[in-house]
């Protein structure tokens, strides 16, 4: 098989030369455009990396500040509620309303001292609270005098105190 002699005609020679020159020029344009696009993408990726690093640093800083503020807030927790429970009222045959009256009397005495105060200060003054409860005079309608003893002291945002009653000497 023989190649046709088109390569000898000047019109075909110009065509093939144009195709070759066009291929070279288009390859150059392609490389130029590809390079510009790649440069834009690499610049954008680098900007995103720096932004990510900055955001990670900010997140760590916020996390540290958040945990620091949480620790400070925990230290500054306040007592919101006071619960008093008389545990041995049935031993002295006290009716429920007398037990409730004794609990309310103790609660009223302690409410001003305890409610909305820091847990730290309440914890450091728990002996004072115990002495206040023990020195609180309880005199009922039957003429007997009673004294109170604190048996349990549980402290969080709710202060729960269990007391026992006994005859006063």
23 falls in which pLDDT band (50, 70, 90)?
Answer: very high
Do 51 and 102 share a structural domain?
no
- The rounded mean pLDDT for the chain is 89
Do 62 and 92 share a structural domain?
no
7 falls in which pLDDT band (50, 70, 90)?
Answer: low
Displacement of CA 11 from its chain's centroid (Å): 82
Do 151 and 90 share a structural domain?
yes
Greater confidence, 20 or 92?
20
Which of 12-16, 43-47, 130-134, 164-168 has the weakest average pLDDT? 12-16
* Domain boundaries, position 141: 81-167
Do 113 and 154 share a structural domain?
yes
Largest interatomic CA distance in the chain = 139
Q: Give the C-alpha distances (Å, rounded to integers) separating 44 from 38, 62, 98, 164.
A: 10, 26, 78, 74
Is residue 32 over pLDDT 80?
yes
Do 39 and 13 share a structural domain?
yes
Do 163 and 86 share a structural domain?
yes
Give residue 77's pLDDT: 80
Q: Which of 58, 75, 92 is the last residue of a domain?
A: 75
Displacement of CA 79 from its chain's centroid (Å): 20
3-class DSSP assignment, residue 56: helix
Task: Give the mean model confidence (pLDDT) for residues 70-98.
Answer: 85
Do 106 and 67 share a structural domain?
no
Q: Which of 75, 97, 125 is the last residue of a domain?
A: 75
Write down the number of H helices and E strands in the chain: 4, 4
Do 160 and 108 share a structural domain?
yes
Do 132 and 113 share a structural domain?
yes
Q: Which of 75, 106, 136 is the last residue of a domain?
A: 75
Q: Which of 143-151's residues contact partners 24+ apart within 8 Å by CB, and which partners?
A: 144/168, 146/92, 146/102, 148/102, 148/106, 151/87
- What is the pTM for the complete model shown? 0.58
Do 65 and 88 share a structural domain?
no
Do 109 and 67 share a structural domain?
no
Report yes or no: 79 and 158 within 8 Å, Cβ to Cβ: yes
Domain total in the chain: 2
1 falls in which pLDDT band (50, 70, 90)?
Answer: low
Do 146 and 125 share a structural domain?
yes
Give residue 6's pLDDT: 65
């Amino acid at each position: 098989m023989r190649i046709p002699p088109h390569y000898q005609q000047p019109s075909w020679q110009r065509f093939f030369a144009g195709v070759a020159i066009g291929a070279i020029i288009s390859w150059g344009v392609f490389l130029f455009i590809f390079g510009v696009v790649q440069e834009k993408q690499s610049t954008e990726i680098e900007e995103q990396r720096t932004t990510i690093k900055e955001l990670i640093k900010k997140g760590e800083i916020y996390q540290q500040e958040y945990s620091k503020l949480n620790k400070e807030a925990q230290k500054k927790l306040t007592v919101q509620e006071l619960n008093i429970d008389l545990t041995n009222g049935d031993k002295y045959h006290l009716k429920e309303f007398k037990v409730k009256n004794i609990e309310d009397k103790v609660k009223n005495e302690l409410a001003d001292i305890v409610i909305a105060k820091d847990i730290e200060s309440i914890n450091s003054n728990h002996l004072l609270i115990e002495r206040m409860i023990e020195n609180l005079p309880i005199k009922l309608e039957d003429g007997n005098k009673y004294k109170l003893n604190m048996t349990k002291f549980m402290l969080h945002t709710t202060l729960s105190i269990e007391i026992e009653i006994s005859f006063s000497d």
